[in-house]
Amino acid sequence: MAGQAVAQGCTITINVFDGRRLPIPADVDVLYTVRDGNQNNAFRDFRRTPSLAVNGLPFFNNFGDQYSVIASANGYKQAGFTPVHVAPNLPQQVDLMLLANDPVFNFAGTWDAIQATRPVLARLLAAAADPPQTPRGRFDDLLENHSAVLACLLNITTAMEQLQLPVGTPLDYFQVLNWDNTMAQDRFFGYADARLIDQVRLAAAQGLFAPEPGTAIFHPGATSSWKQIQFGEANVQLTFHENDRRNINGIDCVLTEPDIDYFKDLLAHAILEVAANGIGGSLTDPREVYVLRWIAGRRAGRPEFNPLYTIS
């Protein structure tokens, strides 16, 4: 039974940002929708404001309190978050990001920002450069000819740097990237210190990762795969190909395939109606990952997801 709402009112404050990670312009009419856990609209209306407090939401004291929050606007893609557990005297805040219908990557200043603020990533980008192509030249080639691949690389490496293992972060263990045709808009390959496998297993014992079943089916040649389970959306997955090993700088390294999936479960996808290509089998869109990871991080109170580019 859905249960009857009690008199106490609950509050959800919704903040809407654009792809620059700035509040959406105040002249944009945003359609705010708040649904309770029974899938009834508790609030649905247009407001010309980037921030809205929805007060007086019903409290059911059961699954009806698992709310969904959705924002949409003309000329923008829809975004949302679920579940948002409400309770009296416990105001909730949800930050959402709306991308333009035709979003464009903006990498202005990205290379310089990497050199100034991301030494681990800078080291990795410089490793195994093949003359006459320099690290900067290789980066610029991605920027000019494969922008979605570059965005994917920045998304995943940023997320890995924000993922703390018992010792270091996953990115710390990578020694070299594969710059051949295996680099794509939904994943990349590289050789990482084999000790990363033990670190992920230890992190799994602490509840940060879970083994991913069917590894060989979805990742040909792989021997094991582990997915971060911290967020409801845009979790890092680390897949290991332990039969492909190299000695790099005296370090035993294993071929490693990191990627980021949209949702931890399909229910969230069905409720929020975003990232539809993820169900149809198309390659993961790094723009959707950018949105979902940013929203998930804000909701979890983690440092802002900043892959050193924006979307306009």
Q: Are residues 74 and 173 in the same domain?
A: no
Residue 38 and residue 64 in contact, taking contact as beta carbons nearer than 8 Å: yes
- Would you give per-residue pLDDT tens digits along the chain (312 residues)? 455 555 569 999 999 999 999 999 999 999 999 999 999 999 999 999 999 999 999 999 999 999 999 999 999 999 999 999 999 999 999 999 999 999 999 999 999 999 999 999 999 999 975 666 789 999 999 999 999 999 999 999 999 999 999 999 999 999 999 987 778 999 999 999 999 999 999 999 999 999 988 887 878 899 999 999 999 889 999 999 999 999 999 999 999 999 998 876 545 544 443 433 333 446 789 999 999 999 999 999 999 999 999 999
**Calculated CA dihedral for residues 75, 104, 17, 208, nearest 10 degrees:** 130
Q: Are residues 129 and 256 in the same domain?
A: yes
C-alpha span between 289 and 186 (Å, rounded): 9
Q: Please list, residue by residue across 171-203, b when 16 or more beta carbons sit within 10 angstroms of its beta carbon and e when fewer do.
A: bbbbbebebeeebbbbbbbbbbbbebbebbeeb
Final residue belonging to a domain, choices 98, 114, 130: 98
Whether residue 142 sits in one domain with residue 175: yes
* Res 129: pLDDT: 56
Question: What range defines the domain where residue 146 resides?
Answer: 105-311
Distance CA 74, CA 31 (A): 9
At residue 274, the pLDDT reads: 42
Residue 283 confidence (pLDDT):
73
Residues 136 and 252 in one domain: yes
The verdict on 255 and 129 lying in the same domain is yes
Q: Are residues 134 and 229 in the same domain?
A: yes
Which domain CATH number covers 89? 2.60.40.1120
For 213-259, give the DSSP string. S-HHHHSTT-SEEEEE-SSSBS-EEEEEEEEEEEEETTEEEEEEEEE
- C-alpha dihedral sign at 266, 271, 272, 273: positive
Instruction: Give the pLDDT confidence score for residue 268 in this predicted structure.
Output: 52
How many domains does one find in the chain? 2
In a domain, 1, yes or no: no
Q: Are residues 94 and 110 in the same domain?
A: no
Question: Could you tell me the pTM of the whole model?
Answer: 0.91
How many alpha carbons fall within 13 Å on the CB side of residue 186?
11
The tokens describing 70, both together, are 């959705």
Q: How many CB atoms lie within 10 A of CB 150?
A: 24
Listed residues 83, 98, 113: the one ending a domain: 98
Token code pair at residue 79: 């975004």
Boundary (domain end) residue, out of 57, 81, 98: 98
H/E stretch holding 273 reads: none
